[in-house]
Amino acid sequence: MRITVMTADQQIVTLDVDPHESVENVKALLEVETQVPLQQQQLLYNGREMSNSEKLSALGVKDEDLLMMVSAAPSGAPANDLGFNPDGSAVNPAAFQQHIRQDSNLIGQLFQTDPELAQAILGSDLNRIQEILRMRHQQRAELQRQKEEELALLYADPFDVEAQKKIEAAIRQKGIDENWAAALEHNPEAFARVVMLYVDMEVNGVPLKAFVDSGAQSTIISKSCAERCGLLRLLDQRYKGIAQGVGQSEILGRIHVAPIKIGNIFYPCSFLVLDSPNMEFLFGLDMLRKHQCIIDLKENVLRVGGGEVSVPFLQEKDIPSRFLDEERHAKEASSSGGLATGTTDRSGSTPKGGQSSGGASGSTSQESDFEAKIAKLVELGFGREAVIQALKLFNGNEEQAAGFLFGGF
């Protein structure tokens, strides 16, 4: 293996030695290279003096490790200036920094083997140097402990059940560590944070950053956001219930239709209003289907209306930090798990099933019938909002609503 020795007079010596070489033999090699007598050499590793009779492997010295050599001669640098404390930090961090700074070869080696420490040494923060040295000491100590445990297991009694369990756990952990190292090398993006999909929208003229979630059955707006958008006055409390997803939240009611602006085009949208202070606006599967939306991750855009409008998904820097913390709460608030019992229909009675695939009231077929009635009456020339109000007034009776509209017309 190869070790690097830094002397008190800023000389760097690289030696190829056997892991089981004695410290005394290493000092003999250094005597040839540095002209410092063996008796005057003091070798330090991790702040601890190495005695002549000890072996390098027994001290935990590994390939590419750094040793410090201080001279006992009066003209040499004091040992306490270039030594290390028991916790791995430098006794004199300023002297340690100065020694390494003045040797371009050592700085180059550090940039290859430990760029973080090299950057700290070139900086002016001595506390940072001490922090990194302590961290490296802890890492080496942990690695040494693991090796000692592996060595102990290697010679363990093959008939000892507990020892075999530890060997099995060690083999499993080794496989996990190898898998982690392979992922870190070949698939590093897997460790990056995944930002959820947000787009800019306007709800009733108020700009919002909408969380696009195809895993939520219904489009959701919080009570505070609905109030800010001036929609709370349209809240139909007959659609109360419980939204069940990852967690559960109370449904305060439903806003049947309001304009949302995506790009430069307005679209009708309906919302469930939740008492969820941790979530603002969630664009769910119901509206994604209704407006034929396409989530294009290759181009990183949301296409609406089969492609007539394309809006880019926001980058992380454009998303408020509180939104990033709210993603978990938004998933909990989503009604992807359906509704619990207790939701009421338009007549005020409780549905038999109590469960809603659309996340609102009754069944999807009932909602589709209601939309079909609206479409028929709108074709007769009436405004959509007036049609909805008339149908609600007559509990969905299409003929009575039409008579009322014609009479008012």
Is the pLDDT higher at 64 or at 272?
A: 272
Q: Are 61 and 67 in contact (CB under 8 A)?
A: yes
DSSP secondary structure of 225-260:
HHHHTT-GGG-BGGG-EEEESSSEEEEEEEEEEEEE
- Give, in order, the Cα–Cα distances in Å from 314 to each of 208, 304, 331, 390: 12, 16, 19, 40
Q: How many CB atoms lie within 10 A of CB 294?
A: 14
In the structure, what pLDDT confidence band is assigned to residue 295 with cuts at 50, 70 and 90? very high
Residue 26 has pLDDT above 60, yes or no: yes
Q: What is the pLDDT of residue 98?
A: 83
Q: Is 2-155's fold the same as 198-333's? A: no
> Lowest-pLDDT range, 36-45, 131-140, 393-402?
393-402
Q: Are 334 and 215 in contact (CB under 8 A)?
A: yes
Sheet holding 301-304, edge to edge: 294-296, 301-304, 309-312
Average pLDDT of the chain, as a whole number: 78
E strand or H helix at 286:
helix 285-290
Give the residues across from 200 on adjacent strands. Answer: 209
| Active-site entry in 213, 275, 286, 296 | 213
Name which of 97, 66, 64, 67 is nearest 81 in CA terms: 97
Q: What is the pLDDT of residue 359?
A: 43
81 is catalytic: no
Identify the architecture of domain 198-333 in CATH: Beta Barrel (2.40)
The whole-model pTM stands at 0.45
Give the residues across from 177 on adjacent strands. Answer: none
In the structure, what pLDDT confidence band is assigned to residue 364 with cuts at 50, 70 and 90? low
Buried b (16+ CB within 10 A) or exposed e, 161-172: eeeeebbeeeee
In the structure, what pLDDT confidence band is assigned to residue 270 with cuts at 50, 70 and 90? very high
Residue 288 has pLDDT above 70, yes or no: yes
Is the pLDDT higher at 58 or at 336?
A: 58
Residue 32 has pLDDT above 50, yes or no: yes
Mean pLDDT of 384-391: 81
Summarize pLDDT for 51-93 with one digit per residue, the tens.
888 888 888 888 888 888 876 544 444 445 667 888 888 888 8
Strands 198-203, 66-71: pairing is unpaired
CATH topology for 2-155 is: Ubiquitin-like (UB roll) (3.10.20)
Q: Report the C-alpha gap between 248 and 408 in whole angstroms.
A: 43
* CATH fit for domain 364-408, picks 1.10.8, 1.25.40, 3.40.50, 1.10.10: 1.10.8
Q: What is the pLDDT of residue 311?
A: 93
In the structure, what pLDDT confidence band is assigned to residue 337 with cuts at 50, 70 and 90? very low
Q: What is the pLDDT of residue 247?
A: 61
Q: Are 383 and 402 in contact (CB under 8 A)?
A: no
Summarize pLDDT for 183-226 with one digit per residue, the tens.
888 887 777 777 889 999 999 999 999 999 988 888 999 998 99
Q: What is the pLDDT of residue 112?
A: 80
Mean pLDDT of 326-345: 45
The domains of the chain are located at 2-155, 157-192, 198-333, 364-408
> Lowest-pLDDT range, 13-17, 70-74, 390-394?
70-74
Summarize pLDDT for 120-176 with one digit per residue, the tens.
888 888 888 889 888 988 888 888 887 787 777 777 777 888 888 888 888 888 889
Q: What is the pLDDT of residue 25?
A: 85
